[in-house]
Structure formats: structure tokens, C-alpha cells
Amino acid sequence: MAATAEVPTLLELRQLRPELLRPLLQEETEVWLRDMLWDFRPSSELVRRFVGMQALNGHALCWREEVVGYAYFVCEEQKGLIGDLYVRAEVRTPEAEARLLEASVRTLLAMPHLRRVESQLMLMSRESQLALPFPDRARAFARDYMVAHLAGGEPLREDPRAAGARFELWSDAFTDQAAHLIAEGYRNHVDADINDQYRTVPGARRFLHNIVQYPGCGSFFQPASFACFDRSSGNMTGVCLTSLIAFDTGHVTQVCVHPGYRGLGLGYEMMRRSLAALRMAGCQHASLTVTSSNTGARSLYERIGFATRRVFNAMVWEL
């Protein structure tokens, strides 16, 4: 890629025939499975379908007649979300990744109604994110992708401190209480800087709707998702929600305990039950993401067997 004539060109995704994306998506699917234990095929199928309908916004990096990189974004009310960014290993450089990121952020920030852009690009190299585009509006937060082996080993012991709580399998009827719990549980929390849906009850409701109904974070797995309640008041005191990201990998999409009930073993006990249910369902591994500075949550996860597999950045731009 040294010669000037060989600098990749940037095209709009809408100009692309979906077949041209096939080799790139094939490679990306292999990397997701190898590095993250995540089956990317449903997402890659959606990308190809939407590109085929000329309905996906974003850019492709083309080199020698081939698509070697792409990024796409979607808009949700006043927020833009960069959904994915991937450059093929053969041509991956910080410049190539930064060009795609810059193109998405520039397009989004130019939209008059947009106030905010969020992204969590797990496969993008962190070196490429050292100099963020539009740095005066940007913030980056390191996050850990953690994995626990479920097969073999001793099952986790029940925490007697949590014996006073009532645990129930997730039901959609819990959505409203869980939305209140999340908005309260993430008040002044770094994760509410990363995902603004955590800041309000309607936002948390949308977040719950997205993880239960849509496949972005795997397919929701109700048999390993729990809520817990205070026996005397009946109030919801915590939730632990899971999905399947591959036929043998579970993912904890949310764990939150009401601030007044922390340190009583509820987080541990819900996670223990979720991991046991995932294991029963044939999962070999479970994964989750956590903000690196959230040391309390990280120490809980480490205690139950999770270890960091990859560190990536969550990025936010605000007007």
C-alpha cells in the first residue's frame, strides 16, 4: 500500500453491491468466533441484506477492486450509533481504520438533529483510536471483554446472604420495574456517560426492549435471565439478563442491583444462577463487557471466574 496509486478509496455503502462485501464479512465472522467466541453470522446477514436494499448508511474502503474495510451507522432519534467497523487484516493500518471512523463521525455530526454519537467497536484496534476524530467533542472509555469457562470445574456455591431475596425468571411484565431500577442504578455511573439510555426511565425501557427483541447483542435467553425482589416490599431489587451469542456461548447483557441493596450478595447470586442455567443449556463459555474503571463489578466477575480477553474503547462524541 506504499504507492500513492494504491491508496484505498472511500465509497458510500449505498453505492456497493452486497456480493462485494462477502469476503470481508466472511473474514470478520471468523475473527469474531476465534477472538470473541461470538457467532457474527446473523449480524453479517443483516448487513448484506440492508446493503442490498441500499438502506445502510456508512462507508466502504476499496482497494484493487475489493472491499477491504467498512463501517456503518444508524440513527436513533437524536443519537447516531456506529454499529460496526472492520478492516481486513491484510491491509489493516491505524490510518485505514481512522479514515472509516472519521467518515462516519463526520457524516453523523453534520446531521442537524443529531446531538450525540456513540460506538463500541470491539474489533477496532485501540492504537487507531489514540487520536480520535473531532477530539474536542470526543471521549473514550476503556472496556473489558471478559470470558468465563463454564464447562468442568466446581459449580459456584450459593451465597447465604441472598437467602432473603426472591428470584424469578425474567418475564416481559417486569420491563417497567426494571427500567426504573436501571435508571436509578446507573445514576452518576460511568456507563451512563457511555450509553445515555441508562439516564432515564424511557431510555432504559428502550434499552431493555432492544436487548430482548433485537439480535444486536445476541438473541435474548430468557431461561438464564433473572430478576430478584425484596420479599417484604415486593420491590424489584436486581436484574441479570443474558443472551446467546453462539450456540455454546452465553453473554450477560445486563446486571444491576438497586443501590440500597448492594453488597448483599444479590449480584453474585443472580450471576451464579444465570451461569448455571447457561451451562445447563450447553454453553461452554459466558462473556460480558464491563467498563475497566468499574472496579467493583470487575472484582465480582473475577471472583466468579471471568478473565479479560480483550480491551476495547467505547467512544462518545457530543455536540
Ligand X SMILES: CC(C)(COP(=O)(O)OP(=O)(O)OC[C@H]1O[C@@H](n2cnc3c(N)ncnc32)[C@H](O)[C@@H]1OP(=O)(O)O)[C@@H](O)C(=O)NCCC(=O)NCCS
Provide, rounded to whole angstroms, the least separation between the CB of residue 3 and ligand X. 46
Asked if 192 touches ligand X (CB under 6 A), the answer is: no
CA angle, 71 as apex, 293 and 69 as ends, to 5°? 110
Asked if 262 touches ligand X (CB under 6 A), the answer is: yes
H-state helical runs in 87-213 = 94-109, 175-185, 190-194, 201-213
Torsion of CA 192, 193, 195, 199, to 10 degrees: 40
Q: What is the DSSP string of 31-72?
A: HHHHHH----HHHHHHHHHHHHTT--EEEEEEETTEEEEEEE
Helical (H) or strand (E) element with 295: helix 295-303
Output 219 or 294, the one with its CB closest to ligand X. 294
* Residues whose CB is less than 8 angstroms from the CB of residue 139 and which lie 6 or more positions away in sequence, other chains included: 193, 315, 316, 317, 318
Output 140 or 264, the one with its CB closest to ligand X. 264
Provide, rounded to whole angstroms, the least separation between the CB of residue 69 and ligand X. 30
Output 277 or 314, the one with its CB closest to ligand X. 314
Query: What is the per-residue burial (b if ≥16 Cβ within 10 Å, else e) of 276-296?
Result: ebbbebebbbbbbbbbeebee
Binding span for ligand X by CB under 6 A among 22-30, 126-134, 225-233, 249-257 = 249-257
The backbone torsions φ and ψ at residue 19, rounded to the nearest 5 degrees and listed phi first, read -60, -30
Binding span for ligand X by CB under 6 A among 4-12, 117-125, 149-157, 293-301 = 293-301
Provide, rounded to whole angstroms, the least separation between the CB of residue 227 and ligand X. 13
Output 233 or 299, the one with its CB closest to ligand X. 299
Asked if 290 touches ligand X (CB under 6 A), the answer is: yes
Asked if 156 touches ligand X (CB under 6 A), the answer is: no
Output 59 or 258, the one with its CB closest to ligand X. 258
- What is the amino acid identity at position 183? A
Output 109 or 286, the one with its CB closest to ligand X. 286
d(CA 30, CA 21): 14
Provide, rounded to whole angstroms, the least separation between the CB of residue 255 and ligand X. 5
Pick from 139, 294, 304, 310 the residue near ligand X by CB under 6 A: 294
d(CA 16, CA 241): 37
Asked if 188 touches ligand X (CB under 6 A), the answer is: no
Asked if 265 touches ligand X (CB under 6 A), the answer is: yes
Output 44 or 195, the one with its CB closest to ligand X. 195
Pick from 38, 40, 267, 287 the residue near ligand X by CB under 6 A: 267
Q: Which residue has the cell 411484565?
A: 173
Asked if 306 touches ligand X (CB under 6 A), the answer is: no
197 within 8 A of 179, measured Cβ to Cβ: no
Catalog residues that contact ligand X under the rule CB under 6 A. Answer: 185-186, 189, 191, 255-257, 262-268, 290, 294, 296-297, 299-300
